[in-house]
Amino acid sequence: MMRRVTVKETVWNKETRKAEHHEYEAMFHAFGVDHNEFTEGPGNYSTAIVELSDGTIKNPNVLDVKFIDGTV
C-alpha cells in the first residue's frame, strides 16, 4: 500500500556555501533503518523508503517525511 508523502531535504550548495532546504513529493513504500558510525559504535535511526516520480529511491530520515493523503 503506497501513500503520497512530502519529504524535506537539506542540501549543501558549494557555490553559495549555504544549506538549501528543498521539499519534494514522493511515494512511500516502507519504513527502514539506517545508521551513522561513531567511535563508540553505530547510532541507528528510523527512515522511510520513498520513490520519486523518475523511479529514484531515497531513504530520508523518518522525521523529514509527512503523509499528505490516504492510501492509494
7-64 pLDDT per residue, tens: 999 999 999 999 999 999 999 999 999 998 888 888 899 999 999 999 999 999 999 9
Neighbours of 60 (CB within 10 A): 19
For position 42, what pLDDT does the model report? 85
Query: What's the Cα-to-Cα distance from 65 to each of 12, 37, 41, 55, rounded to whole Å?
Result: 19, 23, 26, 18
For position 41, what pLDDT does the model report? 84
State which amino acid sits at residue 20.
Answer: E
For position 1, what pLDDT does the model report? 74
HEC string of 9-43? Answer: EEEEECCCCEEEEEEEEEEEEEEEEEEEEECCEEE
For position 71, what pLDDT does the model report? 61
